[in-house]
């Protein structure tokens, strides 16, 4: 398994191109199943998760061409309505093929995604929404077997709590359902709006994405389209936090500060200078140390759970004590003991971590169990004295495009060590 070797302590100066958002790309790719015409997506990041979904879409019948960041997908015919365990278990977003297959073919058999390191992550809300739309669903040997021989019907889906995945999955199914679907208490993440924009470009009628109530008027068919994936707000926030931890000045090309929600305010409160320009975001650290800031993870526009680990790395070197409360996932502090191995002073009590900033972290061999936790260890390694070896780089390859190259170009001493 590859590792990353980092020699810390060098401030970051330069430009980093921000890639298209992984968590949007994976959903708009699933939308290709909804039409027999070609869907062309631009600004698609080349990531392990994207490749994994491509493998799944190909076995459903997709022909594709991925050139630089332009991905064209053409699902003229659906060869198979079954999504096997091996392709779904490795990546939860694969489960989102269920709705489109059901909407287009009237049936689907999709493996349940199972839990993951950050929490149980059930899919009950996804299944309730599809059932409310008329699907008959059975669970058999780890698979969801769903049928809607007469097509899906519009329904009012009231989510008991905000779920990004359930909102997106409902949208992906409702665009081809008969009549109107209303999603109440919908997620408002920018990726939801991006998915709606893509679906609407394909001829769907999705209204008010980005608000708490989304209305979808089903249509008989969707057509081909071209859509540009929005910039990755989590990658943007992570590099901004790296500047906070190690110092310097980065211009994040293609980034959109408006997508960062409460994370932007937290970075400013921590003392970073942030300037929003035409097509970039400039992050500068002028003080010796950042200030401690308390955060609580919340659905958008609150502080994103996907930046919590990286923010903890930043707070580990801040001046003062901060509390970090995780409210979205029940087990998302696995980076805390690893950061502690680097000298961070962190105590965790249930869903709240208290971080007492230290002047300097110390490099150490560390191990991460998920994507964002790995990035927090990279940030800590960049800021630490001496060498940090981050094990299990495959987590990072799932969600941060060309990470070492982007950081090396800005002066970081970071290298992949092949095993």
Residues annotated as catalytic (active site), given as ranges: 116
**Alpha carbon of residue 49 to chain centroid:** 10
Toward ligand EPZ, which CB reaches closer, 332 or 406?
332
Binding region for ligand EPZ (CB under 6 A) out of 164-172, 197-205, 241-249, 403-411? 164-172
Smallest distance, Å, CB 213 to ligand EPZ? 17
**Main-chain dihedrals φ then ψ at residue 212, nearest 5 degrees:** -75, -25
164 lines the binding site for ligand EPZ (CB under 6 A): yes
Query: Between residues 272 and 396, which has the closer beta carbon with respect to ligand EPZ?
Result: 396
Edge-to-edge strand order for the sheet containing 225-228? 63-67, 70-74, 38-42, 225-228
Residue choice 166, 177, 196, 353 for contact with ligand EPZ (CB under 6 A): 166
Q: 175: Cβ–Cβ under 8 A, 6 or more apart, which residues? A: 34, 103, 199, 202, 204, 205, 206, 216, 218, 219, 222
Could you give the angle at the alpha carbon of 145 between the alpha carbons of 328 and 166, nearest 5°? 25
The count of chain residues that interact with ligand EPZ, using the rule CB under 6 A, is: 23
Query: Which range of residues in 51-59, 117-125, 288-296, 401-409 is near ligand EPZ by CB under 6 A?
Result: 117-125
Question: Token pair for residue 419?
Answer: 């095993």
* Rounded-to-10 torsion of CA 286, 288, 294, 300: 30
Nearer to ligand EPZ, 56 or 328 (CB): 328
Give, as ranges, the residues between 318 and 357 that touch ligand EPZ (CB under 6 A). Answer: 328-329
Question: Do the bridges between strand 143-147 and strand 225-228 make them parallel or antiparallel, or are there none, so unpaired?
Answer: unpaired
* Residue (121 or 402) nearer to ligand EPZ, CB: 121
Which residues partner with 231 through β-bridges? 20
The mark string for 62-101 relative to ligand EPZ (x by CB under 6 A, - otherwise) is ------------------------------xx--------
- Decide: is 125 part of the binding site for ligand EPZ (CB under 6 A): yes
Interface residue list for ligand EPZ (CB under 6 A): 23, 26, 92-93, 119-126, 163-166, 305-306, 328-329, 371-372, 399
């Amino acid at each position: 398994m590859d590792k990353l070797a980092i020699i810390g302590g060098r401030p970051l100066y330069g430009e980093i191109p921000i890639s298209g958002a992984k968590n949007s790309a994976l959903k708009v790719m699933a939308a290709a199943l909804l039409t027999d015409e070609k869907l062309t997506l631009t600004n698609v990041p080349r990531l392990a998760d994207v490749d994994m979904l491509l493998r799944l879409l190909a076995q459903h019948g997709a022909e594709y061409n991925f050139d630089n960041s332009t991905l064209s997908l053409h699902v003229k015919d659906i060869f198979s309505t079954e999504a096997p365990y091996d392709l779904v278990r490795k990546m939860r977003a694969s489960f989102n093929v269920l709705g489109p297959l059901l909407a287009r073919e009237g049936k689907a058999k999709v493996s349940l995604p199972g839990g993951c390191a950050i929490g149980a992550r059930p899919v009950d809300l996804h299944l309730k929404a599809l059932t409310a739309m008329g699907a008959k669903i059975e669970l058999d040997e780890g698979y969801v077997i769903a049928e809607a021989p007469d097509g899906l019907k519009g329904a009012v889906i009231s989510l008991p709590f905000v779920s990004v995945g359930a909102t997106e999955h409902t949208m992906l199914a409702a665009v081809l359902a008969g009549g109107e679907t209303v999603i109440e208490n919908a997620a408002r993440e920018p990726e939801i709006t991006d998915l709606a924009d893509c679906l609407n470009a394909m001829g769907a009628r999705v209204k008010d994405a980005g608000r708490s109530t989304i209305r979808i008027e089903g249509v008989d068919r969707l057509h081909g389209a071209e859509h540009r994936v929005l910039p990755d707000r989590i990658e943007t926030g992570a590099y901004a936090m790296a500047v906070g931890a190690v110092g310097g000045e980065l211009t994040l090309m293609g980034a959109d500060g408006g997508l960062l929600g409460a994370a932007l305010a937290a970075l400013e409160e921590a003392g970073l200078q942030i300037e929003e320009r035409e097509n970039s975001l400039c992050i500068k650290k002028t003080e010796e140390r950042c200030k401690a800031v308390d955060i609580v993870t919340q659905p958008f526009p609150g502080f994103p759970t996907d930046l919590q680990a990286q923010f903890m790395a930043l707070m580990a070197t801040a001046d003062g004590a901060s509390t970090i409360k995780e409210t979205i996932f029940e087990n998302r502090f696995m980076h805390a003991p690893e950061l502690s191995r680097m000298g961070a002073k962190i105590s965790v009590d249930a869903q709240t971590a208290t971080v007492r900033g230290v002047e300097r972290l110390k490099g150490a061999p560390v191990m991460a169990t998920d994507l964002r936790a790995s990035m927090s260890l990279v940030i800590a390694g960049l800021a630490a004295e001496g060498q940090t070896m981050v094990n299990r780089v495959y987590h990072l390859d799932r969600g941060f495009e060309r990470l070492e190259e982007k950081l090396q170009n800005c002066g970081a001493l970071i290298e992949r060590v092949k095993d």
